[in-house]
């Protein structure tokens, strides 16, 4: 069972967060990832990843690519050398639980999904959260901007196979392709996107006076400030 942070404050607090370090790879802005949830997780472009695969950018610790899409999406086409981790447990196994697993000091991990809007950024956060809980040093985390869709469009020669889109009826499809992911609540931040649930703040809440057309009671005051 994968352990998860129960509260975003658990890893954003000064005593439990990673010390910011200069990125080892050229980074770029990412509207999806540049939020408080993903603070400290960098993004790279498809062109940067292509240079890495062509060994024109070659970090001394190496780069591992994790494909967070479903197995059928990965089988339909994927980035060369990418490891498919369709579930949170699969990703945690590769990063934390693989026997004799050690990372070089300057290693990097790149995560992506179809568009890197939901699954990729969420999995990157889950990896960092697990590392904080375990007190484990992990490689720098990067999100591939635009995901596999952007990479396949610009660098098809570096892909194995074509491009299989996520099915519309697949739970993991929710939020993909949008500018920002679906809202995440404190109780659902670390859940697998397929099992994520929203926190309905309106449950057991009485309707507002405005919604039922009732006037808001007002207190009147005379010129001396006394209520009447």
Question: Where in the sequence numbering do the catalytic residues fall?
Answer: 113
Task: Give the sign of the dihedral formed by CA 121, CA 122, CA 126, CA 127.
Answer: negative
Residue 31 contacts by C-beta under 8 Å, 6 or more apart in sequence? 179, 180
* Whole-number Å distance between alpha carbons of 19 and 137: 11
Distance from CA of residue 223 to its chain's centroid? 58
H helix intervals, the chain? 9-12, 46-53, 71-75, 88-92, 119-134, 147-154
- Report yes or no: 187 and 5 within 8 Å, Cβ to Cβ: no
- Report yes or no: 84 and 78 within 8 Å, Cβ to Cβ: yes
* Whole-number Å distance between alpha carbons of 52 and 48: 6
């Amino acid at each position: 069972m994968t352990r998860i942070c129960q509260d975003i404050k658990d890893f954003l607090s000064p005593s439990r967060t990673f010390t910011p370090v200069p990125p080892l790879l050229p980074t770029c802005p990412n509207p999806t990832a540049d939020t408080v949830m993903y603070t400290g997780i960098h993004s790279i472009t498809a062109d940067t990843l292509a240079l890495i695969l062509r060994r024109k950018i070659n970090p001394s610790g190496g780069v591992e690519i994790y494909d967070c899409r479903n197995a059928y999406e990965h089988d339909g086409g994927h980035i060369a050398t990418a490891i498919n981790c369709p579930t949170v447990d699969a990703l945690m196994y590769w990063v934390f639980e693989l026997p004799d697993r050690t990372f070089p000091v300057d290693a990097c991990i790149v995560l992506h999904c179809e568009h890197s809007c939901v699954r990729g950024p969420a999995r990157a956060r889950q990896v960092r959260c697990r590392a904080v809980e375990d007190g484990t040093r992990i490689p720098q985390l990067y999100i591939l901007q635009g995901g596999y869709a952007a990479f396949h469009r610009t660098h098809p020669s570096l892909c194995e196979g074509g491009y299989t889109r996520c099915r519309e009826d697949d739970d993991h499809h929710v939020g993909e392709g949008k500018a920002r992911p679906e809202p995440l609540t404190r109780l659902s931040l670390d859940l697998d996107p397929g099992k994520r649930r929203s926190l309905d703040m309106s449950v057991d809440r009485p309707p507002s006076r405005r919604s039922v057309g009732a006037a808001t009671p007002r207190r009147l005051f005379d010129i001396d400030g006394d209520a009447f």
